[in-house]
Amino acid sequence: MSEEQGTPQQNEPIDLSKKDDLAKEPTYNSPGTPPPFQPAPPFQQFGGYGQPNLPNATIALILGILSIPACCCYGLGLIFGIIAWVLAGSDIKKYNLNPNGYSISSYKNTKAGKVCGIIGTILSLLYIICLIAMIVIFGWAALKDPETMKELLREKGLQ
Amino acid sequence: MDHQHNGFLDWVGHHLLSCPLKLYFGIDCPGCGLQRSVLALLRGNFLDSFKLYPATVPLILIVLFSILHLKIDFKFGASLIKIAFIGIASIILINYIYKIYNHQLI
């Protein structure tokens, strides 16, 4: 393969033909009526399902789903959820600017990722609010000693 | 073989990550029970797994389904994931409220 392409004598005519094509394009476009404005189509737009996916669709979906199982691990779910939310939000903006440029399935995945991220964020927020409320109500002294904490809880009637 | 398998699961059972709420206050958080539940599922106890954390099986199913969906790209995959995720979140919340009312937090 590399030997066939590497010979300089074969490359020169190909380059010349490309230059000819480039030279023809302005003469084809410039005279006469100006063409209506069309945004440049993305590379793989034509060909049905060949449209490119949104760049962060998969990551947003995965992080959104992982945000619930990670909810209990030191608030990691909050980070996952917010990242999924932000990534999906920026991708949805990108899709709305150029709806023909990206595939619909990736757009749906992105929306699902956003919903999952929002839910994961809310659950993790509830958890963190619960944690802060415990600290506020019972104080740092109980934090260091689980047994006094249990006594406090019995007094309050939770257990 | 079986004995080794159980030994490994026991070893994992003694080295689970404990959440800070449980560690410092002795109270379960909404995610507590998930790891024990997965371990029970690996041992084959579906009932114990459900009792420890009802959302485990749906969570595993949704993760598997989303991996499949990203590979194969089902037509209604994304909306199904959304609906299932909302369902799982509500299962977790209902389970936590149930725990609070039945004093199973400690």
Please report where in the chains the tokens 């929002």 appear, as a residue. A118
Decide if pLDDT at B22 tops 50.
yes
Mark out the alpha helices in chain B (DSSP H runs). Answer: 2-14, 20-25, 34-43, 46-52, 56-72, 77-101
pLDDT per position as a tens digit, A11-58: 445 444 444 444 444 444 445 555 555 555 444 444 445 677 777 788
Q: Are the beta carbons of B70 and A109 separated by less than 8 Å?
A: yes
Q: Are the beta carbons of A105 and B106 separated by less than 8 Å?
A: no
pLDDT per position as a tens digit, A98-123: 888 888 888 888 888 888 888 888 88
Whether the full predicted model's pTM is greater than 0.90, yes or no, is: no
Determine the residue among B67, B75, B81, B100 to mutate to test chain A binding: the one whose Cβ has the most chain A Cβ atoms within 10 Å.
Answer: B81
Domain boundaries, chain B: 2-101
- Report d(CA A149, CA A144) in Å as an integer: 9
Q: Taking the mean position of all CA atoms in its chain, how far away is CA A80?
A: 12
**ipTM score of complex:** 0.74
pLDDT value at residue A8: 47
pLDDT per position as a tens digit, A88-98: 989 888 888 88
Q: Are the beta carbons of B25 and A134 separated by less than 8 Å?
A: yes
Chain A residues near residue B27 by CB distance under 8 angstroms: 134, 153
Determine the residue among B63, B64, B65, B85 to mutate to test chain A binding: the one whose Cβ has the most chain A Cβ atoms within 10 Å.
Answer: B85
Decide if pLDDT at A74 tops 60.
yes
